[in-house]
Structure 1
Amino acid sequence: MSTIQTLAERQAAAREARQRAPRSLNSAIGNVDRDPVQLLRENSAGRVEALVPLRYGRMSVSPFTFFRGSAILQAHDLSGTSNTGIAFPVCGDAHLMNFGGFATPERQLVFDLNDFDEVAYGPWEWDVKRLTASLAIAGEHMGIDRASVEDIVSTAVHEYRDRMHRYAECSTLELWHEIVSFERMLEAAATAEGRQLINRAMEKAATRTHESMLGKMAALHDGRWLIQDAPPALFHPSGPNSLLGKDKKWSDTDEWKGKLASAFDSYLQTLSSERRQLLAQFELQDIAFKVVGVGSVGTFCLVMLFVDSHGKPLFLQVKEARQSVISRYFEGDGPTHQGERVVTGQRLLQAASDSFLGWTIGPAGRQFYFRQLRDMKISAEVERMSNTILQGYARICGWALARAHAKASGKAVEIATYLGSGNRFAEALTQYAFAYAEQNQKDYDTFMRACRSGKLEARSDEDMAADFRV
């Protein structure tokens, strides 16, 4: 059995971390002597070739969408900075759009991190820096003045600091059961506008169910529900609208169907016995390929539609898990199966996780994880926010990230002691956020020149959809 350190020993270790990585050094953006186009190409290797231009097309919309799709660049850059040495499984991609609301298995609506494709063992500071940089980039993109953006970034960091100090006083079980519910968010909201927005979000979440999605995504044919193609975002792997190209054999044969059945059986073995019993009450109706997000475009992602004996649906998403960009630049322990890495990290960082999380190895040796496609899931419409609302949203993100880190690490005391009670860390992170926003703009400009010159091919959803219109 391991020996538990005293609080004094843990605080002393954190003060040593200040010597290794002074808080003022957190303003450094790191090693930016690299070719962003080359790194993005490396990150696109192994994806569906026909979808890589769509990935770049979605990234080209704005400096903010570029930032969302280029986590590899920031991970590379951060590897050239000092860190506290306090590391544990971090989100790896904690930008402001990777937080959101969803229902717990007990049907409580909570706010939390909701994307874990890049989860890996790494420094906690990297998550905070990704969040603050995203706030600065989004704020500038929205035309918010610099002073207001400074307040927004500072608010997120101060909330992270203040919550971490509170969590440092919590017992292990108190932290494990801590949850950021929408009811608590309502209580903490600073303005009537904020409370109104939270109430609207709760109402919207109640409508985002498997049943509401069924009529939008599928149609009944001869007693069987079939997912409707909507290329390039949704198509049947073996159908006439497939974009899998040379990977067509991966999805077009009876042998593949057999391999998929085997992969699903392997997934079931990663679930608890009662979850397996639950899934046994559903029958598979259809499977389609779904293009999701920005950074994930081009990776393999399937949607499986099931119904129970009452005709009620369940949508499962089967998403490819590739090496985390964090683990590429920071060495640490973790599962060798990339799907298991995602699931384990999500369960550790989230307050309450999807009942159907599991993993498997699919055809062609690709590694996948499973989750529900939609279960009262909602995300923020950041570009429609006022300055006041964005500041409130930044505060909630800082709270949720602190909770996730405190739970996952068991090191709230160390992090809180390192942060201290003053403004030094917040000031450094605000400088970092603006400096990285400037670097992101430079990278975006380089990326756009590559797209315009034909070095990279970028296509929009609308442009690719036109290819399928008769």
Structure 2
Amino acid sequence: MSSKDRWTKGSERREAERGNRREAYERLAERFAAEAAVPLPTFLTGQARREHVRATILEDHVERIDHRAEGTRAKFDLLAKSLFAFFRGTALVFYRDMAGTDGAMPEVLLLGDVHPENFGIMPNIDHAPIFSVNDFDEAGYGPFSWDIKRGATGFVIAAREIGGFGDKKRRKIAKAFVKGYAAGMEECARDEIETTHVYRMDNSPPLIARLFENALTDRKSWLKDRYQNEKGDGFRTSDELTPISSRRDEFQKLIDDLAEARGLEPDGLHGSLRVKDVAMRHGQGTASLGLDRYYVLLEGPSEDTTDDWIVEFKRARRSAMDGLVPSPRRDFDDEAARIVHGQRVHLPDGDPFYGSVTIDGISFLTRERAPFRDDIDLDDLDYGEWKDYADICGRALARAHARSDEVGDIDYDVEPAILEAMEPRHVFIDDVTCFACEAAERLRHDHKAYKRDHKRGAFERLPYALG
């Protein structure tokens, strides 16, 4: 048997094994949603929990490890250095702990990866800055409480690791997030603001208004300082970028297809949509680190080098919630189409370049990289600002959820259903806060076990079951 045949046979066995594990967790989710007492991975302790976490992380990275994808080792190193990075980069571990839970809760289109750094400033349809939820990679339909629980857990972990706060203050910050969500949902039920309202420079709370001010960067200097070569007709070579100019024609076709799908015409706002250069982007992201990513330089409206656009092509991946939520599956053409659906539901009049394309049979997400795309610097916040920020994020999430029946695939009035499900309100807030604190502590132990495994080379190659 040739080496190619052995690799193909091994690849087929690996995919079958991954499919078996996914199906096993889907059956677990279905049973937990339907029965009274079925053990979830949260019941595991000690060595059994360590092996579960290791197996889940390996399974989630089989392709990257198998192909020795650039950035894979860097991701594993990053996860070892920081509990917050570990939380962000191991969503599958988090959601397998929740498999099938909260099946009686109202369903919405979930963001899927709510935490303090997945809210930020991004371009809207007019290429102007807005603030809202900003990462839709894990989007999918499920109980509204899943986003609140992950968001509250993220705030607890970040408030400890980045803010340096003790238990009481961490709990109050998490409560501020849940209370903000409830207040935001009440606003949507009363005023129906979710259809058009989004935070802009002119209507933001002071903390976010400052973020807008700090994020505003001149496009000309941003392009010149970070991306363009000396002539401005292509990308520079750097640790972050490797120009692949030979693929301009290929990406011009992809841009043309994207423009047709999104209804973008070559005009004064979008420019000529002519591809000037293409580059591979290295070392970006946390969960997606190690997956292919490209930057495309487009000629801007003025046809000179000062106002060009950069469109990112980011490989799409399966949602960590897939098969685990106690909700009916929705069919999408591919993973990028699911992510695009999430962005269009959650954001009114979002980024015009947000779309999906296929490269060599693989699904890629597209979006604009703007000079003002930014998120808040958590290191700079004092305790009062942490609570303010948590409240703002909770309200922004509520507005995104409330659009699930306006634009998404929900056929009942979301706001009153969620408000009723949160009663009695003080109990709901306390339940979510307690969940978040327990989940954060469990993840702290998981991280300790992960670092032990990482130090011993557990993630350098695949075990026999997956290898």
- Check whether TM > 0.5: yes
Q: Counterparts of 1:266 and 1:103 in 2: how far apart (Å)?
A: 21
Q: 1:274 aligns with which of 265, 271, 277?
A: 265
Q: Counterparts of 2:158 and 2:389 in 1: how far apart (Å)?
A: 12
Cα distance, 1:263 vs structure 2: 3.4
What percent identity do the matched residue pairs reach? 24
| 1:120-157 Cα distance to aligned partner (Å, 9 max, x none) | 12221111111100011111213201111111111111
2:339 alignment counterpart? 342
User: Which runs of no fewer than 5 residues in structure 2 stay unpaired?
Assistant: 1-31, 406-412, 462-467
RMSD: 2.7
Cα distance, 1:271 vs structure 2: 1.2
2:24 alignment counterpart? none
Q: 2:79 aligns with which of 44, 55, 59?
A: 59
Distance verdict in 2 for CA 1:170–1:275, change over 3 Å: farther
- Residues 266 and 273 of structure 2 are in contact (CA less than 8 Å); yes or no, is this contact kept in structure 1? no
Greater length-normalized contact order (CA 8 Å, ≥ 6 residues apart): 1
Give TM-score scaled by structure 2 length. 0.79
- Residues 210 and 314 of structure 1 are in contact (CA less than 8 Å); yes or no, is this contact kept in structure 2? no
Are 2:322 and 1:320 aligned? no
Q: 2:148 aligns with which of 96, 117, 128?
A: 128
2:204 alignment counterpart? 185
| 1:8-40 Cα distance to aligned partner (Å, 9 max, x none) | xxxxxxxxxxxx99xxx9xx9956656112211
Distance verdict in 2 for CA 1:224–1:111, change over 3 Å: closer
Q: Counterparts of 1:175 and 1:257 in 2: how far apart (Å)?
A: 40
Q: 1:263 aligns with which of 234, 238, 254?
A: 254
| 1:214-267 Cα distance to aligned partner (Å, 9 max, x none) | 11223445x453322333x433469xxxxxxxxxxxxxxx6x666544433332
Deviates more, 1:101-110 or 1:28-37: 28-37
| 1:209-224 aligned within 5 A | 210-221=219-230, 223=231
| 1:114-263 aligned within 5 A | 114-141=134-161, 142-171=163-192, 174-186=193-205, 195=206, 197-207=207-217, 210-221=219-230, 223=231, 225-231=233-239, 233-236=240-243, 259-263=250-254
Cα distance, 1:182 vs structure 2: 4.2
- Residues 101 and 379 of structure 1 are in contact (CA less than 8 Å); yes or no, is this contact kept in structure 2? yes
Deviates more, 1:302-311 or 1:90-99: 302-311
Cα distance, 1:426 vs structure 2: 0.5
Alignment size in residue pairs: 403
Cα distance, 1:385 vs structure 2: 1.8
SS at match of 2:112: coil
Q: Counterparts of 1:387 and 1:275 in 2: how far apart (Å)?
A: 48
Matching residue's letter, 1:426: I
Q: 2:63 aligns with which of 46, 49, 73?
A: 46
Matching residue's letter, 1:214: L
Cα distance, 1:61 vs structure 2: 2.1
Are 2:300 and 1:295 aligned? no
Matching residue's letter, 1:318: F
SS at match of 2:234: strand
2:379 alignment counterpart? 383
2:3 alignment counterpart? none
Matching residue's letter, 1:447: Y
User: Which runs of no fewer than 5 residues in structure 1 stay unpaired?
Assistant: 1-19, 187-194, 239-253, 459-470
2:97 alignment counterpart? 77
Distance verdict in 2 for CA 1:275–1:376, change over 3 Å: farther
- Residues 161 and 416 of structure 1 are in contact (CA less than 8 Å); yes or no, is this contact kept in structure 2? yes
- Residues 156 and 170 of structure 2 are in contact (CA less than 8 Å); yes or no, is this contact kept in structure 1? yes
- Residues 259 and 362 of structure 1 are in contact (CA less than 8 Å); yes or no, is this contact kept in structure 2? no
Q: 1:310 aligns with which of 292, 304, 329?
A: 304
Distance verdict in 2 for CA 1:42–1:275, change over 3 Å: farther
1:16 alignment counterpart? none
Q: 2:351 aligns with which of 338, 344, 354?
A: 354
Distance verdict in 2 for CA 1:278–1:339, change over 3 Å: farther
Q: Counterparts of 1:340 and 1:354 in 2: how far apart (Å)?
A: 15
- Residues 288 and 303 of structure 1 are in contact (CA less than 8 Å); yes or no, is this contact kept in structure 2? yes
1:451 alignment counterpart? 454
- Residues 102 and 143 of structure 2 are in contact (CA less than 8 Å); yes or no, is this contact kept in structure 1? no
- Residues 105 and 144 of structure 2 are in contact (CA less than 8 Å); yes or no, is this contact kept in structure 1? no
2:414 alignment counterpart? 411
2:4 alignment counterpart? none
Distance verdict in 2 for CA 1:49–1:404, change over 3 Å: same
1:420 alignment counterpart? 423
| 1:426-437 aligned within 5 A | 426-437=429-440
SS at match of 2:401: helix
Cα distance, 1:455 vs structure 2: 1.4
Matching residue's letter, 2:210: R
Matching residue's letter, 1:234: L
Give TM-score scaled by structure 1 length. 0.79
2:8 alignment counterpart? none
